[in-house]
């Protein structure tokens, strides 16, 4: 399991800027269309080969000026509960404010590593004011400027020193972990109960009944895996109660620790922005995915309603649209086991290894028939392909000028791999390396 780093501090000290600085190198996807914006307060950071998740807790509280101590306290307690390491952000101009002292008081009692960070240090003169932050009593503070990035490298080094070593996964190492995710009330617990043939999870018509991620070993009909039912992920604006927030955090954690995610969608509402946000989380964490459209019994059918509906979904989730879509009605026990069969198939694709010789034989021919376009009169020659030993399928193409291979051609390579080797339901990564 990966480690989690939380950023706490009062409003306007630059938490989001620091968050973007830590994960931003990888969150360069900015798009005008709705639904592309990734979850703004949760991201992955990588430094010196260590990967960890970063949470900006400030994103979860009301950002009004008259923030109550209550809100900040809540924020800090959430960070303490869920994170492995806490970054406590202050700003140099204001010095130590009452709020800062308040937060420091709470953090001094915590058993987890805390790093005090002083932001907005843009000139040498401010270093004099910086020293007063030693008075927080949390150890040597770090001087940074989140806007221009000075000091963040040293900070990242320190984070990597203090993070606990990655926890080994549970002993059920070779058992696939299948997580059921979706908005509240789409029927996640009901489908878990239907799979297990018993009422393991409480089901009510009230959204948000399941608060924790509940995992169960499923061993029937020749299948053997861990089934994890998560709390519903809902829009940020709706995450009001702390419990809700914890649930969302745990659902995100469950996605991180799973192999395959079953994303449940309500047939009546279709794929909404919130479903897209969850789908993006699954893709961002490079997990296999099966989309289940539940409550299909409530939809009026025509001749090819199902086909049209599937097309609509594929359009929404493009470019990664190679995902199985299954229509169920949990109440009527309709096509429930198709879901398990699909998840099993996706898991096989997720763990598939392709022999290098076969990969080269097929892909080099495809590349020869359609070579990468020349850039500035230079020709890109791809000589050799191999599958990398990563958990999710990723392929390295060795060539003379990797920097000239653009996105459309990468997509072409991915599509060709998908055409020859079945990777339905699994995100593929394509790397171009200097040979």
- For residues 226-242, average pLDDT: 59
Q: If pLDDT is split at 50, 70 and 90, which confidence band does 26 have?
A: very low
d(CA 224, CA 347): 12
pTM of the predicted protein model: 0.62
Closest CA to 51 of 129, 159, 137, 150: 159
Lowest-confidence pick of 143-152, 237-246, 302-311: 237-246
Look at the block and give the residue holding tokens 């308040």. 102
Q: If pLDDT is split at 50, 70 and 90, which confidence band does 27 have?
A: very low
- For residues 273-281, average pLDDT: 81
On average, the pLDDT of the chain sits at 78
More confident call, 295 vs 210: 295
Identify the pLDDT of residue 148.
85
Q: Label residues 162-190 b or e (16+ Cβ within 10 Å = b).
A: ebeeeeeeeeeeeebbbbbbbbbbbbbbb
d(CA 61, CA 57): 7
Residue 410: CB atoms within 10 A of its CB come to 16
- For residues 347-374, average pLDDT: 90
- For residues 304-308, average pLDDT: 82
What pairs with residue 117 in β-bridges?
A: 89, 142
- For residues 212-240, average pLDDT: 64
- For residues 411-425, average pLDDT: 90
Angle between helices 273-284 and 305-317 (to 10 degrees): 60
CB–CB of 60/236 below 8 Å?
Answer: yes
More confident call, 43 vs 162: 162
Lowest-confidence pick of 19-28, 103-112, 276-285: 19-28
- Of the chain, the percentage scoring pLDDT greater than 70 comes to 78
Sign, CA torsion 46/51/57/63: positive
Residue 295: CB atoms within 10 A of its CB come to 22
Identify the pLDDT of residue 35.
32
Closest CA to 350 of 338, 342, 360: 342
- For residues 35-56, average pLDDT: 67
Q: Is the pLDDT of residue 29 over 70?
A: no
What pairs with residue 178 in β-bridges?
A: 227, 260
d(CA 64, CA 58): 11
Q: If pLDDT is split at 50, 70 and 90, which confidence band does 243 have?
A: very low
d(CA 259, CA 34): 28
Lowest-confidence pick of 182-196, 290-304, 344-358, 365-379: 182-196
Pairing of strands 3-8, 260-266: unpaired
Q: Which DSSP state fits 212?
A: S
d(CA 402, CA 381): 9
More confident call, 28 vs 196: 196
SS3 30: coil
Entry field: residues in the chain: 435
d(CA 66, CA 86): 24
Q: If pLDDT is split at 50, 70 and 90, which confidence band does 322 have?
A: confident
- For residues 223-247, average pLDDT: 60
Closest CA to 418 of 357, 370, 365, 349: 349
Lookup: tokens for 60: 């979860």
Report pLDDT digits (tens) over 168-219: 554 455 788 888 888 777 887 777 777 776 654 555 555 454 445 566 666 7
Identify the pLDDT of residue 335.
85
SS3 378: strand
Q: Which DSSP state fits 426?
A: -
Identify the pLDDT of residue 211.
46
Report pLDDT digits (tens) over 94-130: 888 888 888 888 888 888 899 999 988 877 777 778 8
Sign, CA torsion 415/421/424/428: negative
Closest CA to 260 of 336, 344, 182, 321: 344
Identify the pLDDT of residue 169.
52
Lowest-confidence pick of 43-57, 71-85, 294-308: 71-85
What pairs with residue 118 in β-bridges?
A: 90, 143
């Amino acid at each position: 399991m990966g480690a989690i780093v939380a950023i706490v501090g009062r409003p306007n000290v630059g938490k989001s800027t620091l968050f973007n600085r830590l994960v931003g190198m990888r969150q360069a996807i900015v798009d005008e269309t709705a639904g592309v914006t990734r979850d703004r307060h949760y991201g992955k950071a990588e430094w010196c080969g260590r990967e960890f998740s970063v949470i900006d807790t400030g994103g979860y509280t009301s950002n009004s000026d008259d923030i109550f101590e209550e809100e900040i306290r809540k924020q800090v307690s959430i960070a303490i509960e869920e994170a492995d390491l806490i970054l406590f952000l202050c700003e140099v101009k204001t010095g130590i404010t009452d709020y800062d002292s308040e937060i420091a008081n709470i953090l001094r009692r915590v058993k987890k590593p805390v790093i005090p960070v002083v932001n907005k240090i843009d000139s040498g003169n401010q270093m004099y004011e910086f020293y007063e932050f030693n008075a927080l009593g949390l150890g040597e503070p770090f001087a940074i400027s989140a806007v221009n990035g000075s000091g963040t490298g040293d900070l990242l080094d320190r984070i990597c020193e203090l993070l606990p070593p990655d926890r080994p996964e549970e002993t059920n190492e070779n058992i696939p972990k299948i997580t059921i995710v979706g908005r509240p009330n789409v029927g996640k617990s009901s489908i878990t109960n239907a799979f297990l043939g018993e009422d393991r999870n409480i089901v009510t018509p009230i959204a948000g009944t399941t608060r924790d991620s509940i995992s169960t070993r499923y061993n029937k009909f020749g299948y053997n895996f861990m089934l994890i039912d998560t709390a519903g992920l809902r829009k940020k604006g709706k995450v009001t109660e702390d419990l809700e927030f914890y649930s969302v955090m745990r659902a995100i954690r469950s996605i991180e620790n799973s192999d395959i995610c079953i994303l449940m969608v309500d047939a009546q509402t279709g794929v909404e922005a919130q479903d897209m946000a969850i789908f993006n989380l699954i893709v961002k964490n490079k997990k296999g995915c099966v989309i289940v459209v539940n409550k299909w019994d409530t939809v009026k059918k025509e001749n090819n309603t199902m086909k049209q509906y599937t097309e609509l979904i594929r359009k929404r989730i493009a470019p990664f649209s190679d995902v199985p879509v299954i229509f169920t009605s949990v109440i009527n026990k309709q096509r429930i086991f198709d879901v398990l069969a699909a998840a099993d198939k996706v898991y096989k694709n997720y763990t598939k290894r392709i022999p290098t010789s076969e990969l080269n034989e097929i892909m080099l021919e495809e590349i020869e028939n359609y070579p990468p376009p020349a850039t500035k009169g230079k020709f890109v020659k791809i000589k050799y392909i191999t599958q990398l030993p990563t958990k999710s399928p990723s392929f390295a193409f060795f060539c003379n000028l990797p920097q000239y291979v653009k996105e459309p051609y990468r997509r072409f390579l991915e599509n060709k791999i998908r055409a020859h080797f079945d990777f339905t339901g699994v995100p593929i990564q394509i790397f171009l390396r200097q040979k």
